[in-house]
Structure formats: structure tokens, C-alpha cells
Structure 1
Amino acid sequence: MEDKKQKNSFIGWCRRYISLLFVGLLALYVYVLFFNDNSYGHLRELHGEIKRLEREKKENRDTLNKYYELNRLLLSDKEELERVAREKYGMQRPGEDVYIIE
């Protein structure tokens, strides 16, 4: 008898304080938060990808600036051009012996 009374009081409390509208809104909130295309997990993945791409963009920009500087040096300094040609491409003057030490 006591158990039935507690059960009825609980059901009465639920009917009084938890409406169907509240349950529906809660279900909608859970759906949008976890199961939608724009869910929280998906947004976190996209945010991580954005951070990774920004780091990659910065690295590429630094590399590009390095090559711009090298290009500027090669166009303005003949000694630098000769140094790069000798080191990277193994070029030499006619009659010159080059010893490569590794």
C-alpha cells in the first residue's frame, strides 16, 4: 500500500512539474547537440582541422618567404648564384676538379 502511494505521488509530481513540452524540448536539444550534422563532436573535429590547416598555412608562408629571399639573393648577387649552382647542382668551371666530401 505504501509503495503504491509513493508511486502515485511520484507520477503526480512528474505530471505537475514535467510537461510534455519540456520533454519534447529536451529531446530536441539532445538531438541537435549529439545527432545533427552540426553536432558538438563534429564541430570539435572541424575546429581541430581548422587549427591544423592554419599551422600548415603558416609553415607554407614561411617556406615561401624563404624562397623569395633566396630568389632575391640569386638575382642580385652573382657569387651567391655561383655558390648555389656549385653546392646544389654540382656545377664546376672547365678544367676544375671538384672533390665531394660527405
Structure 2
Amino acid sequence: PQHLRPDVAMELQEQVWGQGFESPLFQDQVDILNQRIVGEKHLSLKLRLHGQLVDGIWFGRQEALPAQAELAYRLVLDHWQGQRKLKLHIENMRTA
């Protein structure tokens, strides 16, 4: 999909979002390749989305996900150790 690009994530992050103007929420079928708990209460994910490998995180969730699921997520550009990388912030799930 066209929205799975770092430049799109950067453009979304530069916009003003807030009460009544939430940032866009996307929904897609994904393969969950790896998952682990980080920070004692967040689920870190390695996902395959439309053939593209991407990292995700679900804040406040500790319960494991199935191998495939339909996820609702927000697209962000993660800055870590001098690198910018596309990342999904998971909001909700519907199992496949």
C-alpha cells in the first residue's frame, strides 16, 4: 500500500492532531512473525504486511497475538539510534 512509506509517516507526524482531530487509523491483515514483551507491559511485534517487514508495538498489551490478525494501527516514523524507521502503533485487533 502507498501509505507504508517513511515519507507518509513523517507527513502525518508533522500534522496537528488532537481532540476531535485524531491521526489516521489504518486497518490491514498481517502475519505476526515474532512477538515479545518489552518494558514489562508492551507487546513488541515483527510483522509482514503486504509482503513488507515492519515493526510494531502495542502499548499496554501483554497477551500474545495469533499468527495472523487484522490490525488497526497508526503509522509513525520511529527515531532510534540515529536511524528513522517505519513503525506501527497497534490500537486494536480482529483475529483472522
Q: TM-score range by the shorter chain?
A: under 0.3
Relative contact order (C-alpha < 8 Å, sep 6+): which is higher? 2
The structure that has the greater radius of gyration is 1
Q: TM-score, normalised by structure 2?
A: 0.20
Q: TM-score, normalised by structure 1?
A: 0.19
Task: Select the structure that is richer in helix.
Answer: 1
Task: Select the structure that is richer in strand.
Answer: 2
